[in-house]
Amino acid sequence: MVKKLDTTAPIIHQPPYQITYAERIPVVHIFRNAVASLYSNKGKGKPLYNSLCNFAELLFQSRNYLAAECGVYKGNCLIACAEIAREYGLPVHIYGLDTFSGLPELSETDKLYAIKTVLKKNSEMFSDTSVSEVQQKIEAKDLSKYISLVPGLFQDTLSTLPDKKYFFVNIDCDLYEPHLECLEFFYSRMESGGIIFFDDYHSVEFPMAKVAIDQFMDGRQEQLFHLRFGEEAANHTKAFIVKY
């Protein structure tokens, strides 16, 4: 049996990965592999890397590598990715977007798909965090130059981000409209070969995430990759696309 993830604890992001972090290893693994491809075989010889050949080229050509995480909560995944970027000496800057006060009010579409627990506890979920708490963690790790926190609703904050290309975006925002808002902003701003990671595509608690992603991706050429670390369990399988 997999031990339940402690959301208050830092993610041990260096291989060999620990099964305790099975829910978070996929995004950390994809982020690390994308960066590590620069220092290994530049995308040759491995199926996933073959899909990321353009990604390796873009990182060699640029010195400003922008990324984003939409849904930060306590900041553990955000910090783990920033630590990986620092380990490889890459000038990455990650924007962390969140209300830092819990989930926004459910829309009518969310209510159609939400399970009873979410309907009952929506206003309480993910509210045990704050900008100051996450910022303190960032400063304690000396990662301030790698991370900028952007508090507020996505409908208000996405437009404040740099209108530039992004190489990696982790969308972990649970609800229907926020997924669409993030995809509408970032999809056209992704580097060729860049990655959009979907933490909630297979979520049991938030099936509206899959509805939004499938709706947005319908008719687009990118196909979803699916990844799981460890045994099959609720919320362990994640999804992502490689932008053409």
pTM of the model: 0.86
pLDDT (tens digit per residue) in 132-150 = 999 999 999 999 999 999 9
- Residue 188, number of CB atoms within 10 A of its CB: 9
How would you label 91-122 residue by residue, b for 16+ Cβ within 10 Å and e otherwise?
ebbbbbbbbbebbbebeebbeebbeeebeeeb
Tell me the pLDDT of the chain averaged across its residues: 87
pLDDT (tens digit per residue) in 215-225 = 999 999 999 99
For the chain, what percent of residues have pLDDT higher than 70?
A: 82
* pLDDT above 50: residue 244: yes
Domains and CATH numbers, the chain: 19-242 (3.40.50.150)
107 residue type, one letter = S
pLDDT (tens digit per residue) in 183-214 = 999 999 998 888 999 999 999 999 999 999 99
Mean pLDDT, range 92-98, rounded to an integer:
96
pLDDT (tens digit per residue) in 221-238 = 999 999 998 888 888 999
Report the run of H or E that residue 132 belongs to, with start and end: helix 131-140
| Sign (positive or negative) of CA dihedral 107, 207, 126, 95 | negative
